[in-house]
Amino acid sequence: MSAFAAPIAEQIWDMKYRLKSADGTPMDADMAATWDRVAKALAAPEADPAAWQPRFREALDGFRFLPAGRIVAGAGTDRAVTLFNCFVMGTIEDSMSGIFGALREAALTLQQGGGIGYDFSTIRPKGAQVEGVAADASGPLSFMDVWDAMCRTIMSAGSRRGAMMATLRCDHPDIEEFVAAKADPARLRMFNLSVLVTDPFMDAVAGDGEWPLVFGGRTYRTVRARALWDAIMRATYDYAEPGVIFIDRINAANNLSYAETIAATNPCGEQPLPPYGACLLGSLNLARLVEDPFTGDARIDTNKLADLTATAIRMMDNVVDASRFPLPQQAAEARAKRRIGLGVTGLADALAMCGLRYGSPEAVDATGDWLRVIANAAYRTSAGLAAEKGSFPLYDRDAILAAPMVQRLDPEVRAAIAEHGLRNALLTSIAPTGTISLLAGNVSSGIEPIFAQEYTRKVLQPDGTRTEETVRDFAVAEWRRLHGRTPLPEAFVSVADLAPADHVAMQAAAQEWVDSSISKTINVPAEIGFEAFKDVYLQAWETGCKGCTTYRPNEVTGSVLETASAPPPEAASEAQVVQMFAPLDRPAALTGETYKIKWPQSEHALYITINDIQIDGRRRPFEIFVNSKNMEHFAWTVALTRMISAVFRRGGDVSFVVEELKAVFDPRGGAWVQGKYVPSILAAIGGVIERHMIATGFLAGEGLGLKIDPADPRDHSATAAVTLPGPTCPNCGSFDVHMAEGCATCANCGFSKCG
């Protein structure tokens, strides 16, 4: 029997986590071999590796403990990669040498696969005087543009998708420009943005007081606090950013408040970190721990949960010693504090399997109970490791015992810490688990609700045909296995069934027992009113959350489509797909159009001519010509036109040509064209073919190519706006893209983009 609960899980493993040689030859024979590799690597730092390797391997079996993707992909490979997911870079010195030195460090970290966070509050505001050069400062936003371009370049060179977080204090003079930055759909695409909100600012908002914008001890101007808060809320309402980080609350609750000050987080917000801070991640899969699911006796055995937590903590502590680091400062920081972030995934599935509706008071209580067990077991284990191996180097007994999180632990755990110390300064975090959750059988991600109970995924086969594959949520699949097609219990709810308050209640319940933070997206409907939307953030503040991220479908990020009252063109129907077994002869005359592409990296423009043939009164592409004065491209343009034309003349559904071309990435980097990032000149040609197919009625809309049949997903009988889950996936063209834990995630192919 396969180790995988669904075909998509095996595909994710082979694509992202299976060890392969440089030429692509698989080195991990199966999932068991991958787990063997990880268990062996994480047992290596132990005094007796042979004793611990089987215990580590058992924790991984059945996808019960899921180390983060960097660990699964990199552990035991002897490759120059980091096993840490999260980094906050050093404080940016407000000088040209300091700024570009920080840029270099960011590039090195991104190159090794780490996501990074930066606080740009240390850069002087736009218009401030720069002494010695008789010039005015350009401000932090201008340098963020430089970071953004660097990240795109690193990504286009074949490295892991870049992900960055930028923060700015609510009292920085350029805060209003920062808040409005994402209104430009082409700007800062590689960044997540969050405002560092302080306690005095929230007090000023409540009292409708004045708020000074200050840098370097100088007050540049004063604004109304409530007006600034409304500007932040309006930007988030209109284009989903910036998020809000309650930075004073984070620092006050930090176990290490005596040794560090935090001003930034990693890209998805679950790890507030100091300068050069680093943290690794892992998740306990609650969905795999439910006993007697869908019965009155359904439960998670808390003793087994505590035992699994203990093993996971030991494994993660060993990663600190097994990992490489992009920078020596990151290695020093990680080893001085031995910070780790153990969290959960599959929470919504576990709740449904126990008969609890996500967001209900009973589900909130169960979430708190499970997270409390994990927190106590994690700290108990870390105290035991301290007795065995020593506390983290910066351990301060009195300061740690006084920390708010430690104060909430069970008395026997606090006593163990007092006696032995702690191996790890911080231990818990709830991270995005996107593809790792797919690997585990499509369990619900992190503490997010179930996104979709099931959906149909179209899979392109080697022979060019497509097959349909039903992808079910793990808990739904378990219900079907046990009860067939019996209707799902009422406990099964998905994102569309929930009110924003349900999300906030669940995040707050988990946050009480998480010493770092939580990556979570509160999805709200497009039609929610602005005042109700603002209340979501105030509820997060009032219930003790450390930050808040929402996603409302909007025009900037895509997802609101206006449907026309006119009927769709006949050419978009199934009758348009013509099957031909031999190429047609070319008629003497054809109808066509010529398009011009000015590629920023080329001196000469490309001219693309697409000619169509009329069959049964409908146009379909028949041939293509690409011309340019740039002889560098002559050979491949001739080959390209012949191959594409040959495909066109064979008939059938040729729309896959579009997405095959659009998926080509140039290692030298792509370009921004009309507000969109195009990864290569071939992708630009694919875009032209797509626009032509849409204009002639062969395709009904953008993104309807590979893995999606040429059918309009919109209901043309309606005249009102139709809200889709999100923009099309850049990898497969699917509309099954949703926001979860700060990441755009494609349910069709597993693509995720956090940044």
* Of 95, 91, 127, 89, nearest in space to 213 by CA: 127
Cα dist from 620 to 389, 409, 551, 638, 647, whole Å: 70, 68, 39, 21, 12
Structure confidence at residue 3 as a pLDDT band (50, 70, 90): confident
Task: Please name the amino acid found at residue 292.
Answer: D
User: Residue with structure tokens 């005596």?
Assistant: 258
d(CA 540, CA 555): 25
Structure confidence at residue 721 as a pLDDT band (50, 70, 90): very low
Decide which of 689 and 750 is more confident.
689
Q: Which of 324-333, 359-368, 466-475, 737-746 has the lowest mean pLDDT?
A: 737-746
186 Cβ contact list (under 8 Å, min separation 6): 672, 675, 676, 677
pLDDT in tens, 31-78: 999 999 999 999 999 999 999 999 999 999 999 999 999 999 999 998
pLDDT in tens, 214-237: 999 999 999 999 999 999 999 999
Residue 82, φ and ψ in degrees, nearest 5: -90, 145
Pair of tokens at residue 643? 């191959």
Helix axes 681-695 and 634-649, enclosed angle (nearest 10): 30
Report, as an integer, the average pLDDT of 680-692: 88
663 Cβ contact list (under 8 Å, min separation 6): 683, 706, 731
| Res 647 pLDDT > 70 | yes
pLDDT at 674: 66
d(CA 133, CA 116): 32
Residue 337, φ and ψ in degrees, nearest 5: -120, -20
Structure confidence at residue 650 as a pLDDT band (50, 70, 90): confident
| Res 255 pLDDT > 70 | yes
| Res 331 pLDDT > 50 | yes
d(CA 587, CA 256): 77
Instruction: Check: pTM over 0.85? Answer yes or no.
Output: no
Task: Please name the amino acid found at residue 684.
Answer: A
| Res 578 pLDDT > 60 | no
**Cβ neighbours, 10 Å, residue 497:** 13
Residue 743, φ and ψ in degrees, nearest 5: -120, 140
| Res 706 pLDDT > 60 | no
Pair of tokens at residue 601? 């990296």
Q: Which of 15-24, 496-505, 570-579 has the lowest mean pLDDT?
A: 570-579
Pair of tokens at residue 545? 């959350």
**Cβ neighbours, 10 Å, residue 189:** 17
Would you please indicate which residues are annotated as catalytic (active-site) residues? Answer: 266, 268, 270
pLDDT at 191: 92
pLDDT in tens, 519-543: 999 989 889 999 999 999 999 999 9
At 308 the three-state DSSP class reads helix
- Contact between 397 and 418 under an 8 Å Cβ cutoff? The reply is yes
pLDDT at 662: 83
503 Cβ contact list (under 8 Å, min separation 6): 359, 449, 520, 522, 523, 536
| Res 375 pLDDT > 70 | yes
pLDDT in tens, 507-522: 999 999 999 999 999 9
The pairing of strands 618-628 and 560-562 is unpaired
Decide which of 167 and 564 is more confident.
167
d(CA 153, CA 220): 36
Q: Which helix (H) or strand (E) element contains residue 341?
A: strand 340-345
Per the prediction, the chain carries an average pLDDT of: 86
| Res 160 pLDDT > 70 | no
Q: Which of 204-213, 583-592, 608-617 has the lowest mean pLDDT?
A: 583-592
Structure confidence at residue 709 as a pLDDT band (50, 70, 90): very low
d(CA 319, CA 112): 16
Structure confidence at residue 665 as a pLDDT band (50, 70, 90): confident
d(CA 482, CA 153): 49
pLDDT at 704: 55
Q: Which of 102-106, 167-171, 304-308 has the lowest mean pLDDT?
A: 102-106
What are 212's strand-pairing partners?
Answer: 222
Q: Which helix (H) or strand (E) element contains residue 611?
A: strand 606-615
Structure confidence at residue 185 as a pLDDT band (50, 70, 90): confident
Report, as an integer, the average pLDDT of 163-179: 96
Tell me the DSSP string of 233-260.
HHHHHHHS--EEEEHHHHHHH-TTTTT-
pLDDT in tens, 435-490: 899 999 999 999 999 988 988 776 666 665 667 778 899 999 999 999 999 999 99
pLDDT at 179: 97
pLDDT at 728: 54
pLDDT in tens, 607-637: 899 998 877 667 888 889 888 776 666 777 7
Report, as an integer, the average pLDDT of 164-173: 97
**HEC profile of 140-185:** HHHHHHHHHHHHHHHHHCCCCCCCEEEEEECCCCCHHHHHHHHHCC
pLDDT at 559: 40
**Cβ neighbours, 10 Å, residue 739:** 24
Report, as an integer, the average pLDDT of 249-278: 96
Report, as an integer, the average pLDDT of 122-132: 91
Say how many CA atoms lie within 13 Å of 164 toward its Cβ.
Answer: 28
Pair of tokens at residue 298? 């359904």
Rg (CA), the chain: 27
Sign of CA dihedral 413, 319, 301, 403: positive
pLDDT at 573: 37
